[in-house]
Amino acid sequence: MLFEKPPSDFDPAFEAVSCLIHEGDAFLFLHRAPETLHPGTWGCPTGKIDPGEDRTAAVRREVREETGIDLPADAFTFVETLAVRFPEFDFVYHFYTARLTDRPKIRLNRREHINYAWLPLEKARRHNLVPDMEAVLDRFEARSAD
What pLDDT, on the 0 to 100 scale, is given for residue 107? 97
Residues 133, 27: Cα–Cα separation, whole Å: 13
Judged by DSSP in three states, 138 sits in helix
23, 118 contact by CB (below 8 A): yes
pTM of the model: 0.94
Q: Which domain holds residue 121?
A: 2-145
Nearest to 91 by CA among 81, 99, 101: 81
Number of CB atoms found within 10 A of residue 15's CB: 16
Which residue type sits at 122? E
Length of the chain: 146
Whichever domain contains 108, its CATH number is 3.90.79.10
Residues 97, 21: Cα–Cα separation, whole Å: 6
Count the domains in the chain.
1
What pLDDT, on the 0 to 100 scale, is given for residue 145? 73
What pLDDT, on the 0 to 100 scale, is given for residue 146? 67
Neighbouring residues of 88: CB distance < 8 A, sequence distance ≥ 6: none
Partners of 21 in the beta sheet?
Answer: 98
**Tens digit of pLDDT at every position of the chain (146 positions):** 999 999 999 999 999 999 999 999 999 999 999 999 899 999 999 999 999 999 999 999 999 999 999 999 999 999 999 999 999 899 999 999 999 999 999 999 999 999 999 999 999 999 999 999 999 999 999 888 76
Residues 29, 118: Cα–Cα separation, whole Å: 6
What pLDDT, on the 0 to 100 scale, is given for residue 102? 94
Torsion of CA 4, 10, 12, 16, to 10 degrees: -10
